[in-house]
Structure 1
Amino acid sequence: MDRQADRPGARRRSRFFLELGPILADHIAQHVRLNTPDENGETRRQRNERFGLPAVDPDTVNPDFEYLLEWFWDISAGRSHGFSGPNPLSMTEIANWSTLTGTVVRREELSILRAMDGAFMSAIAKEQAEVTERQKSGA
């Protein structure tokens, strides 16, 4: 039995992390949308600059939680790739990263990392689908 979960402070912390997960997941999705190269190797960020459109950056994150973004991108750099692109991060990859770096990952942080990865995978799939659709239509 987890005695920590019965304490009011632990419940508030868990609720806080549950609310933080979607914010960071949305940040990841925005990042992917702006920085994923299209079939010509150009990102939306570069295309916007080329057409003189204002720079759009993902929403800023509270500096107290930037470490989760740093962890995610560090783990993501070692992710495996298949024929159709990146694979979801496995629990083994996260555990190995944690062991190799000496980083203690709490269960709330793990949930957030997995939500961020879900957003990453969804955003990548959407970008790939848009490229495929453009190629079909000849645009």
Structure 2
Amino acid sequence: MVAHLRHEVSLDQRLPTGESQRDALERVAEITGKRPRELDAAPGLPHGTERLYDIFAQLSAGRSYGMSGPMPLSSLEIQAWCSLTGQRLDGWELTAIRRLDAAWIKASNKPDERPDGA
């Protein structure tokens, strides 16, 4: 899952033009009629982890940002998401989400890989 996440972060990095790498590649596909392989080069998610990755993406989309960049997902944010969606996370799922979050924070703090979201 982490390899998939890192690839997604790299596509969300901002170019000097202000657009994301993903947007630029999609524009190339639109103009040329050929889809750049970078758009589809993400390692697949391991079987059975799609739901967990989707939960992380939902949580990450609502994350807070501080002066130095993105903040780790807080327990309160995760608890609020569970309450709002009516879903319950098992302990191993919470651990996996925290590990994904740590990887996302690490990748997003690289100067050339500032994502807009998960």
Larger relative contact order (C-alpha < 8 A, sep ≥ 6)? Answer: 2
The answer as to 2:112 corresponding to 1:130 is yes
User: Which residue of the partner structure matches residue 80 of structure 1?
Assistant: 64
The answer as to 2:13 corresponding to 1:25 is no
RMSD: 2.3
User: Which residue of the partner structure matches residue 94 of structure 1?
Assistant: 78
What is the rounded CA distance, in whole Å, between the counterparts of 1:66 and 1:92 in structure 2? 23
Question: With structure 1 as the length reference, what TM-score do the two structures score?
Answer: 0.65
Instruction: Indicate the structure (1 or 2) with the bigger Cα radius of gyration.
Output: 1
Q: Secondary structure at the match of 1:33?
A: helix
Percent identity among equivalent residues?
35
Question: With structure 2 as the length reference, what TM-score do the two structures score?
Answer: 0.75
What is the rounded CA distance, in whole Å, between the counterparts of 2:12 and 2:107 in structure 1? 11
Q: Is the 8 A contact 2:5 2:104 kept in 1?
A: yes
- Once the two structures are superposed, the pairs formed by residues 52-91 of structure 1 within 5 Å of their partners are 54-56=36-38, 57=40, 58-91=42-75
> Which structure has greater helix proportion?
1
Structure 1: gaps of 5 or more residues: 1-23, 132-139
How many residue pairs get matched? 106
The answer as to 2:34 corresponding to 1:34 is no
